[in-house]
Chain A
Amino acid sequence: MADVILRNISKRFGAVEAVRELSLAVNDGEFLVLLGPSGAGKTTTLRLITGLESPDAGSVLIDGRDVTIDPPGSRDIAFVFQQYSLYPHLTVYDNLAFPLRSPARRVPEPMIRKRVEQTAELLHIASKLNNRATRLSGGEMQRVAIGRALVRDPSIYLMDEPLSSLDAKLRAELRLELKRIQLELGATILYVTHDQVEAMTMASRIGVIRDGQLLQLGTPREIYESPSSSYVASRLGTPQINFLPARLLPDVPVPPGTETVGIRTEHLKVGARNGGRMVGRVHRVEHLGEQNHVHLDYKGEMLVTLADPHQQPLKADQEVELHLVHPLCFDRAGQRIPAMIH
C-alpha cells in the first residue's frame, strides 16, 4: 500500500475538458471517494491514474515515484471496472488468477491457488470457483470483479462505480462488505461514484467533483455539515437540500452578503401555528414507510422535508409554522458564507 498524488492534471477529449487542473492526494490506508454526477471527470481521473489515458498536463505520483508516462502494467494498480470486468471465456477461478498469471508477475501456481482461495473465502464465492463467469448472478459477478483486484497486493485499488449495476439490496450488502474488507486489509482505495450513500457510508474522505474540478475534499461529516458551496450541499442529503432566496426570510438572521439560504431537513422544524411569522402550507405528503416526505409551499417556493409518520400526521392544505435552525448561507456565486456564531 502506498499513497497516490495527482498534481494539476488536465485532460481534454476534443472540445471537452474532462479533467481540469486537478490535484488530489490519496493517503496510505485511506478510502477516498470521488463523488460527482456522470460526466464530471471521475472515470477519467481514475483512467489517468491507471495510465489507460495520459494527461495533457500535470503528473501522477505513486508512492513518491512519478509514473505519468509509465504503461498501465508497471504502475502496480488494481482496477475494478463498472462492468464487463469478468472474462466470459474463463471460469471464476481463472478470472481471479488472471492478474497473478500476468507474464510480468510470474507468480508460481501453488501461490496463485492460495491467493485465489483466500480471496474467494473473503468474498464468499469459494463455492463458485469452478463456474463459468457468465453463469453467476449480478452480485456474484461483482464480487468476482472486486476479487480480481483483491488477489493482488497493489499500491492502490481504483474502483469505478463497482456497485452501480446492482439492485439496491445487493448494493447495500456489498457496501458493508467492501468497507469491512478495506479495514481488514488496510487497503488504500480510490472509489468513484455518483451515489451519495456509498460515499457517506464507506469513505474516510470524500472529494466532490464537478466539470473536472475538485470542489471540496473532506471527511463525510465535514462535507455534509459544512459544504463549501451550494453545489456540494446539494450533492448530499435526502431529501435534497432546499434553497430559498434570503429575501423571503426577513426574520432569519443571516450574515451579510447572503443571497441564498440552504435548508436541510434538520434545519427545519415544522409545528402547529403558534404565532410565528414563518407560515407554510402543506402541499403534499409522500408516505415512504419509515418516514414521510412533506412538500411545503412557502411563499410560492417548494420545500421538501422529512416528517415522522408516528407523530401527529400532517394533511394537505394544512397551515404550519416553520422554524429554521442554523441553516446554511450562500453568497451570489453559491459560495458558502460561514454562519455567525450563535
Chain B
Amino acid sequence: MTAAVANSTAHSIVEASPRAKAVAGGLVILYAVITILPLLWIVATAFKSQSDAIAYPPKVIFEPTLEGYVNLFTVRTRQTPDFIAKLPPPETWYDKLVRQRDMVIAGPSKVVPRFVNSLIIGFGSTFLAVFLGTLAAYAFSRFRIPLADDLLFFILSTRMMPPVAVAIPIYLMYRQLNLTDTRLGMILLYTAVNVSLAVWLLKGFIDEIPREYEEAALVDGYTRLQALRKVVLPQAVTGIAATAIFCLIFSWNEYAFAVLLTSGEAQTMPPFIPFIIGEGGQDWPAVAAATTLFVVPIVLFTVLLRKHLLRGITFGAVRK
C-alpha cells in the first residue's frame, strides 16, 4: 500500500496536492484572523479598565478586570471616600470593585430589559416572518395563482427602496396606532421587512422539492396541511434554517428604526449600546461588554443551525 503510493508518480486531478492544501489553508486562516480580529478586540476591551481601553498606543497586554461588565449591569453614584469608609464592609465582589473607584451601586441598569426586548423582538419577528413566508412560498410554488409573477415582484419591491425613505410615514402611522415603543410594533415592522426576503428565499427551496412527494401523501389520505407538515417541511428544513438566520440577523442588528421608534419600554440593544455613558463620556469597556453579550445569541443560533446552513446557502442556487 505504502509502496504503491510512494512509487506512484501520477497525481489526482480531483484531490488537491499537499502544497495546494497548505496554501488554501493558510489563506483561510489569514482571512479568519482578519475578520475575527475586531471581534477579539471588542472581547478584550470588555475586560480592560477605562484608562487601558483608551490608552495610546493601544494596549494588547493589560491587567484584566470585570469593571466593564459590572458597569454594564449597574447604575452607580460617586461618593466621598469618607462616606464609603463609613459603610459596612462590601457584601459582594462587585460592591468591592465599585467602591475602589469611590462609587456605590445604586441599582441595576436597563441592560437586562433591553436584552430581553431584543430577544423577544428578534426571535418573534423571525418566527413570524419564516412562518408566514413558508406558507406564502408554498402557495406560490404549488398553486396556480393569478398574477403570481406580479405579486412576487410586488413583494420583492418592498425591499427595493431604502427603509429610511419610509421612516417618517411609518413613524406617523405608528403614532396613530399607538404602536411606537411597543414590542408588538417592532415585531410587526421587522416581520413586514423580513417576510419578503423569506418568501423569495423559501420559494426557491420549496420549488426544488418535487411535488410528487406531497401528491403521494395526498393520495395516501393526508390533507394538504398534513402533507405540508409531514413531507414538505422536513425537506425544506435547510432552507428554513438559512432563511431564519438571515431574518434574525436583520432584525437583531437593525438600528435605524429601533432608534426612531423605540426609546423606552421596547428599546432594543442596538440603540441602547452606544449610549452607555460613564463618567466623562462613553464607558468603552461597558460598551464592549454589551457588544460581546449582544453577539452571543446570533453566534449560538448560527452554530445550532450550522449543519443545515452550509447546505442551505448553496441549495436552490443550482438549477438542475
Contacts and interface: CB of A to CB of B under 8 A. Distances in A.
A105 B221 contact: yes
Interface string A73-109: 1110111011111011100000000110011110000
Interface in B178-226: 210, 212-213, 215-223, 226
Contacts, number: 65
B221 A81 contact: no
Contacts of B226: 102-103
B44 interface: no
Contacts of B230: 98
B231 interface: yes
A72 B219 contact: yes
B234 A89 contact: yes
B235 interface: yes
Interface string B230-273: 11001100000000000000000000000000000000000000
A213 interface: no
A52 B235 CA distance: 21
A79 B213 contact: no
A160 B276 CA distance: 67
Dominant secondary structure at the B interface: helix
A148 to B, nearest CB: 7
A74 B218 CA distance: 9
Interface residues of B, number: 17
B223 A88 contact: no
A50 interface: yes
Contacts of A138: none
Given A52-B215, A84-B212, A89 B235 contact: yes
Dominant secondary structure at the A interface: loop
Interface in A135-174: 148, 152
Contact of B220 (A51, A82, A89, A98): A98
Contacts of A104: 221-223
A78 B216 CA distance: 9
A74 B210 CA distance: 23
A71 interface: yes
B159 to A, nearest CB: 32
B209 to A, nearest CB: 9
Contact of A88 (B219, B220, B235): B235
Most buried by B among A52, A73, A81, A89: A73
Contacts of B222: 73, 102-104
Contact of B221 (A85, A89, A99, A148): A99
A81 B215 contact: yes
A98 B217 contact: yes
Contacts of A51: 219
Nearest to A73: B221
A148 B216 CA distance: 10
A212 to B, nearest CB: 20
A87 B226 CA distance: 14
A83 B219 CA distance: 15
Nearest to A47: B215
Contacts of A99: 220-221
B219 A73 contact: yes
Nearest to A95: B216
Given A79-B216, A89-B235, A148-B216, A84 B221 contact: no
Given A87-B231, A89-B234, A89-B235, A73 B218 contact: yes
Nearest to B214: A52
Nearest to A83: B212
Contacts of B216: 79, 81, 85, 148
A79 B218 CA distance: 10
A79 B216 CA distance: 7
Contacts of B235: 87-89
Nearest to A89: B234
B249 to A, nearest CB: 27
Most buried by A among B212, B218, B219, B231: B219
Nearest to B212: A84
Nearest to B216: A85
Contacts of B221: 73-74, 99, 102-105
B212 A81 contact: yes
A110 B253 CA distance: 51
A71 B218 contact: yes
The 6 A-B residue pairs with the shortest CB-CB distance, nearest first, are: A102-B221, A99-B220, A104-B221, A73-B221, A84-B210, A84-B212
8 contacts: A73-B219, A73-B222, A77-B219, A78-B220, A79-B216, A84-B210, A84-B213, A102-B221
Interface of B: 210, 212-213, 215-223, 226, 230-231, 234-235
